[in-house]
Structure 1
Amino acid sequence: MNRIALIGSGGSGKSTLAMAIGKVLGIEVWHLDAILWQPNWVLTPREVQKQIQALLIEKKSWIIDGNYQGTLDIRLNAADTIIFLDMPRTLCLYRVLKRRLMYHNRSRPDMQKDCKEKIDWQFLKWIWDFPSQKRPQMQQKLADLTMDKRIITLKSPQEVKRFLADLKDQV
């Protein structure tokens, strides 16, 4: 595991798991939210997103967390390991609401500095609809990848804990 892509719904735990894996393996972590959002929630143009990620995937090792469907193939094709956090939507919603309270009027550590934590109905709807709208697309993309990829799907916090414990035992 040298090039790891983490994907999943908002609130699934991508950034938290990325940091934990990075600590265990000693691999640099890249949070796409922190890289692709400019101050005051201005999204970097798609072509620039592609250029940024093309540079990141050239590195010998990396952990990149984030979905960004328009550039997802860049990461999936370059990764040797893909971790799909397929958590229940109620858990994801709970975590997003909790995160909003924790980081009220400030930016999260895995987010661009001048993007104060916020949620809106559109984001909550995206999380709610993720299992029916986005999960099938992601599962199809994963199914279409070459057999040399290690694909790990984790469906609960307990599975994440077991995965991290096993990873620590292997290192």
Structure 2
Amino acid sequence: MTKIVVFGNSGSGKSTLAKNLVKGHHIAHLDLDSVAWAPSSLPTNPPSRLPISESKVLIETFLSKNTSWVIEGCYSDLLAEVLPSADELIFLNLPINLCVENAKARPWEPHKYASKQAQDANLDMLIDWIKDYENRTDTFSKQSHQVLYDSFEGTKTMYTSNSHSERQ
């Protein structure tokens, strides 16, 4: 069984790494975006979070149906729910400028946006949000991610570049 959690700033490559892990290990995948936001709120700016209790139920359902998985996201409050079940933790702690570059090059995410144009219309807001990663103190912040990383007692890796050969 493989149970991996991947987290970091928006644009750090969480989804790309998770998809590669899914292909390489033939395991289930949960993008926490799919359980964090109220579906009817996605076209709004900003969208509305589901109550944590509802997100937890969706996560518990995923965990009960899958023995091997990768879960990825930037939500420390939701990640804390899955860490007790995880075998491995991967923190994508890339420099802000790389996250911004990745966000600008991001392909259309149809599970989040009705069109590539709608996604691009949100890009300036996303870039500002990415740039504030080290200053925020919310569940999406570097500070909250560092606490998760430091407290995890299993196998853990921190990447500080786009190259998976550069670990910290």
TM-score bracket for the superposition, by shorter chain length = 0.7 to 0.9
- Output the amino acid matched with 1:130: Y
What is the match of residue 168 of structure 1?
none
Question: Are the aligned partners of 1:7 and 1:65 in contact in 2 as well (CA < 8 Å)?
Answer: yes
Report runs of 4+ in structure 1 exceeding 4 Å deviation.
112-116
Partner of 1:130 in structure 2? Answer: 133
Report the 3-state secondary structure (helix = DSSP H, G, I; strand = E; otherwise coil) of the residue aligned with 2:119: coil
Q: In structure 1, what is the Cα distance between the partners aligned to 2:53 and 2:91?
A: 25
Compute the TM-score of the two structures, normalised by the length of structure 1.
Answer: 0.76
Alignment of 1:89-104 (within 5 A): 89-99=96-106, 102-103=107-108
Percentage identity across aligned positions?
Answer: 26
| 1:80 aligns to 2:83 (yes or no) | no
1:131: how far off?
2.9
**1:169 aligned partner:** none
Contact 2:93 2:161 in 1 (8 A): yes
Aligned to 1:47: 53
2:27 is aligned with what amino acid? I
| Partner residue, 2:75 | 68
| Structure 2 match to 1:4 | 4
Q: CA RMSD in A?
A: 2.4
The C-alpha deviation readout for 1:9-39, integer Å capped at 9, x for no partner, is 0000000100001111111111122343314
Assess if the C-alpha contact under 8 Å between 2:3 and 2:88 holds in 1.
yes
Q: Does 1:155 align with 2:160?
A: yes
Give yes or no for contact 2:9–2:133 (8 Å, CA) kept in 1: yes
**2: CA distance, partners of 1:22 / 1:120:** 27
| Distance (whole Å) between structure 1 residues aligned to residue 113 and residue 146 of structure 2 | 32
- The answer as to whether partners of 2:6 and 2:70 remain within 8 angstroms in 1 is yes
1:117 corresponds to which letter in structure 2?
Q
Could you list the runs of 5+ residues in structure 1 that have no partner in the other structure?
A: 164-171
114 and 52 in structure 1: CA distance in 2 versus 1, 3 angstrom threshold: farther
User: TM-score of the superposition, structure 2-length normalised?
Assistant: 0.77
- How many pairs does the alignment contain? 152
Structure 1 residues 84 and 94, CA gap change in structure 2 (3 angstroms): same
- 1:71 aligns to what SS in structure 2? helix
Match of 2:105, SS?
A: helix
Deviation at 1:132, TM superposition (A): 4.0
1:117 paired with 2:119, answer yes
Uncovered stretches (5+) of structure 2, i.e. residues with no partner: none
